[in-house]
Amino acid sequence: AADLFLPTEIAAAATAFAAFVPMHLTMLASVNNDSLAELLLATFVFLLLRWVFRDDHSPIPWTLGIMLGLILLTKVTVYTAIVLGAAGLWFATPNHRHLLAKNALRLYLPALVLALSMFIRNVLVYGGLDVLGLHRHDSVVVGQLRTAERLAQTGWARYLSDLAQTTFHSFWGQFGWMAVPMDARVYAALTVVSLLTAAGFGLWLWRHRPLPVRLRIGLWLMTLQLALVTAVFIGLNLSFVQFQGRYFFSALLPLGVIFGLGMREMLRREHAFFGAAMASVALVGAVVFGGAGKWAMAIDGGAAAIFAVRHWLPGRLTGWLLAAVCAGLAGLAGISVFWFIVPNL
């Protein structure tokens, strides 16, 4: 059980991920409502999980309803909490369906009461049923590039390629309102880290199947959160070109957990040769497709060598290696200020 959960290491790694993504730090340093929206959504999910798991100090649905109301007052992109709350209600009353309606009322009524005054104000100001001001937004953003125009210019293949690459870059760091990207070598290293994390998470799921019920429910809820944030991102890009990774900061909770679980699993001694093989495949891809040139090949080759050496190191070093990866992310956040932001802005 201790090997399965490892709460201290995973929590520390997830916290480091949220704390040291350079673009996230840049957003937190500006005046906006994203920071509060992320905090409220993460707190809502945390409290929702405690309620579902029936912890000793779990909140009552009324508390969750007040938190949901604050979310409704803060930012439309985190309205995903409405669906997450419904999923939590379902998991919280698996054998007491008669309580479902009562708990739903306790959850959603306080939220509606808190947000109702703003909705009424929006109707009076914007007219019609534009309770969120979305129609007014679309009418005033004159000159912003629309998706239909971009598709007509580039076609689907180039559009999807640009969407994936720019979103990935801007998630990690593309500063100055998308005008100041980081060095290609940094993106090459972050690509390797991301691929290894995803593979490690898959290995972790495979090694621990079947998952305990509590852990399975928690992962399902966080997977739903990530899926809903992705759906919001897709919805935004249906009308306007919004290749901005910052929209995924609302999912830093599940992404941080995936980072912690996946990276730690990949750094285990028994996966060393698999990690070296993955980095070697990335190296071959850099050679065949060019990528970021010699630096991409050096980074991929270096990662393959590190994993090969990992096989001969003691297994107890896994936690320290995970800490080193987190320290590297913190270092990237620090040097980004002096390498990219200050010289250009």
Q: For residue 313, list its beta bridge partners.
A: none
For every residue of 156-223, DSSP letters joined together read HHHHHHHHHHHHHHHHH-EHHHHTEE--HHHHHHHHHHHHHHHHHHHHHHHHTPSPPHHHHHHHHHHH
**What is the model's pLDDT at position 132?**
85
**Terminal Cα distance for the chain, rounded:** 49
Rounded to 5 degrees, φ, ψ at 313 are -95, 155
Asked if 193 and 267 count as a contact pair (C-beta separation under 8 A), the reply is no
Query: How far apart are the C-alpha atoms of 221 and 47, rounded to whole Å?
Result: 12
- What's the whole-number mean pLDDT along residues 199-228? 91
CA atoms of 299 and 192, how far apart (whole Å):
8
Of 13, 48, 4, 329, the closest CA to residue 172 belongs to 329
Mean pLDDT of 284-310: 77
pLDDT at 95: 65
290 pLDDT band, cuts 50/70/90, is low
- The CA distance from 254 to 260, in Å, is 10
Q: Taking CA 254 as the corner, what is the angle to CA 252 and CA 256, rounded to the nearest 5 degrees?
A: 60
pLDDT band (50, 70, 90) for residue 164: very high
Q: Please give the Cα distance from 237 to 243 (Å, whole number).
A: 8
**What's the CA gap between 112 and 131, in Å, rounded?**
13
Predicted local confidence at residue 99, as pLDDT:
75
pLDDT of residue 89: 87
Q: What is the pLDDT of residue 320?
A: 92
Please state the rounded mean pLDDT for residues 56-75: 86
- pLDDT given at position 321: 93
DSSP string, 4-72: HH-HHHHHHHHHHHHHH-HHHHHHHTSSSSHHHHHHHHHHHHHHHHHHHTT-TTPPPHHHHHHHHHHHH
pLDDT in tens, 77-134: 999 999 999 998 888 876 666 778 888 888 999 999 999 999 999 888 888 788 888 7
Q: Which residues pair with 7 in a beta bridge?
A: none
Sorted by sequence, the CB contacts under 8 Å of residue 113 that are 6+ apart come out as 69
Per the CB < 8 A criterion, the answer to whether 66 and 114 are in contact is yes
Confidence of residue 287 (pLDDT cuts 50, 70, 90): low
- DSSP annotation of 240 reads B
220-276 pLDDT per residue, tens:
999 999 999 999 999 989 888 899 999 999 999 999 999 999 999 999 999 999 999
Amino acid at 179: A
Residue 298: predicted pLDDT: 83
For residue 146, what is the DSSP state?
B
pLDDT of residue 3: 47
Of 2-11, 135-144, 292-301, 315-324, which range is least confident?
Answer: 2-11
Count Cβ atoms below 10 Å from residue 141 Cβ, excluding itself: 12
Query: Across residues 306-320, what is the average pLDDT?
Result: 90
Name which of 147-156, 196-205, 289-298 the model is least confident about. 289-298
What pLDDT does 58 receive? 65
The SS3 of residue 87 is: helix
Q: Give the lowest-confidence range in 18-27, 139-148, 248-257.
A: 139-148
Q: What is the pLDDT of residue 61?
A: 81
pLDDT given at position 239 = 86
Residue 337 per-residue DSSP state: I
User: Residue 182 in contact with residue 245, Cβ under 8 Å?
Assistant: no
Cross-strand pairs, 240? 146
